[in-house]
Structure 1
């Protein structure tokens, strides 16, 4: 008998919901098909999604005091007809491919392969057999090699061309992460609205993102949300980490007791790898936030192993510290989207928080919830050992908002 392959869509301590290649849907194993009670017929795809929605609701409907979202590179990706729209978010691999193509067109810089050879990066840029971009090429490892090699270049002419090439790569990373919010294709706004409804004042929804783009800011503005991003409300906003602790309130008129009314729709935004809108002030003493079109040298942590060292500098240190503090709070829900847990620095921080904070629940959403790298495997082992972790096959700009919405959900006993 042919073994049926399945795709897992939801995994928690209590249940695994799967889709089979035979267009049937299963609960926990392939011997337990999901069927309608009245007719004993297999359920539809729509009904399967309703069941997932119900299980997600069971996991997140616990009146959490705090909700924190970690949005990685995948949160900016838009997929249409099975393909990633290159006008919006790109995967790290796509950015690397775009850099390779542009560097080959330049006459006064080294190609990516030349730089890889010079810095002794072992993985070839192009696949030796197909001559196409090598999917094993790791941009983060490559940049780490590059930045280490730079200090050993003795030849002045070679070093000048090398630095020009390095700076070109960094500029291309900026270019490939700079795109505008499009409400017709992106669901950041719906995402903010849905999760804000779960928050009880004076607590605020917190978005933590590794992305440099301004999608969450633009989505929030389209909804008239107020964003507390660590910058002051002054004419030239500058970074002051204390801003995250403040709230906007007003006195309630005609009330003898000193009651306060909290402003609605306020979110915290922690951009832990920097932003296209951040730039050092002229005297270098402050970090200012500006319109991204006016920023010449944005403050960004580029993908390399050196980013771990940079995270101990300000403002990154303050932002990471704030993120850690949020993960230590009782009765907290963390939702991750577009974050694969391959970033060891952040992944280990979350895993340690799960182990030490029994009041932390984590919903991991991704287009693939059956990954096999070390951090992902450790997360799943924690789930198996009854920590509050669930995995959901969903992406921000596709179906995540549907699974989080407060619509009437199918009950567990319907099929």
Structure 2
């Protein structure tokens, strides 16, 4: 009996060469799992810098009282899932249709108020600063700054927080996020489409908005100091509709344009592929542009990353790296360590392999691996598939 396996050493050897290639067009997609990986707890008690959906749901629930918590719990029970995304979707749906009628003790005005309270609490929770000392956001920016690139690195994120901005400003790294100005920066879609700023400027594209975005008196989205109510695309049933309007349409168009460029590589971290809108866009672009590729670094096992592995099995130019195995070139297989691809590789292996697990699905480990890959140039493309083999 033969069993197909993937050798992580060979893929990481090739990957390290790509990271230092000055002519490679590299983008990074940061999902909600990135800030979750940062532990800010004390006395050995794990506490994420920004919680996952389960943790966020509990925080929101604990902040409500009276008729609000009664309606919240009733909706959670009727949905059969205590998930803030689903509950907020239902709250907004009810607010649109019930008018003066009451459901679970609230009418339309009550659900509008409840939606606003939930959104404000979400904003409070995600409005965090980076911990002192080393952190993965600083490592990520350090890696970008360490290489003299022909093309700018583009960071796409679904997160509303300001952690990337903080990391870049601490490192005095210039970046462009689509806005121009200072007091109430205005959105400039023409700058996004032309993308003609110097390569040393990082591009930061916040696909679902930010806590420091708000609307001015003309209904236009501006970037300010974050004191006003944010205009984030909160997770709900209206997400797709909102992303068709400015500035979200321009940001999604930039994601599409990047993936349609020749020989582009998008690295994803902390992104589960559960966002159907973004996943569909990725699938569409990779179907059209066979020279583009996505490397998805997932925290869980293959069996627990259904959304990501399904996408990779459908598109061979999507590679998914999980803790126990990978989907590469449309082939799903477990990891198996092979011969060291270079001298002293054992030290490098420790950065991505621990306790028989591939650990770059952890954003903390992923960012440090990037930072440790260093500068320099290489002409070695990531085309080798020597890592696949048959083991009897």
TM-score (structure 2 length as normaliser): 0.74
Larger RCO of the pair (alpha carbons < 8 Å, separation 6+): 2
Q: Quickly say closer, same or farther: Cα 1:208–1:53, change in 2 above 3 A.
A: same
Q: Using the alignment, how far apart are the partners of 2:6 and 2:76 within structure 1?
A: 48
Structure 2 gaps, min length 5: 323-358, 376-385, 388-392
SS in 2 for 1:268: strand
Q: Using the alignment, how far apart are the partners of 1:232 and 1:267 within structure 2?
A: 15
Give deviations 1:131-182, integer Å, cap 9, x for gaps.
xxxxx42322222222112222424883243333222111111111110123
Show the counterpart of 1:65.
24
Moved more, 153-162 or 340-349: 153-162
Q: Using the alignment, how far apart are the partners of 1:345 and 1:388 within structure 2?
A: 17
Q: Which has the higher helix share?
A: 2
Show the counterpart of 1:400.
366
TM-score (structure 1 length as normaliser): 0.71
Give the superposed CA RMSD. 3.0
Q: Quickly say closer, same or farther: Cα 1:375–1:240, change in 2 above 3 A.
A: same
Show the counterpart of 1:204.
152
Task: Name the count of aligned residue pairs.
Answer: 329
Q: Using the alignment, how far apart are the partners of 2:318 and 2:90 within structure 1?
A: 38
Q: Quickly say closer, same or farther: Cα 1:387–1:163, change in 2 above 3 A.
A: closer
Q: Using the alignment, how far apart are the partners of 1:71 and 1:118 within structure 2?
A: 31
Give deviations 1:378-415, integer Å, cap 9, x for gaps.
233146xx43524154256521123323259xxx99xx
1:223 is aligned to 2:183? no
Show the counterpart of 2:317.
387
Structure 1 gaps, min length 5: 1-12, 18-49, 124-135, 249-261
Give deviations 1:318-349, integer Å, cap 9, x for gaps.
11111111111111110101111111111121
Q: Using the alignment, how far apart are the partners of 2:196 and 2:287 within structure 1?
A: 31
Correspondence 1:276-355 to 2 at 5 A: 276-284=211-219, 286-292=220-226, 295-355=227-287
Correspondence 1:10-409 to 2 at 5 A: 15-17=6-8, 53-54=12-13, 56-57=15-16, 60=19, 64-77=23-36, 78-79=38-39, 84-86=46-48, 88-103=49-64, 106-107=65-66, 109-111=67-69, 114-117=71-74, 121-123=78-80, 136-150=81-95, 151-155=97-101, 158-159=106-107, 160-198=109-147, 200-201=149-150, 203-233=151-181, 235-244=183-192, 245-248=194-197, 262=198, 265-284=200-219, 286-292=220-226, 295-372=227-304, 374-382=306-314, 386-387=316-317, 389-391=319-321, 393-395=359-361, 397-404=363-370, 405-406=372-373
Q: Using the alignment, how far apart are the partners of 2:167 and 2:225 within structure 1?
A: 15
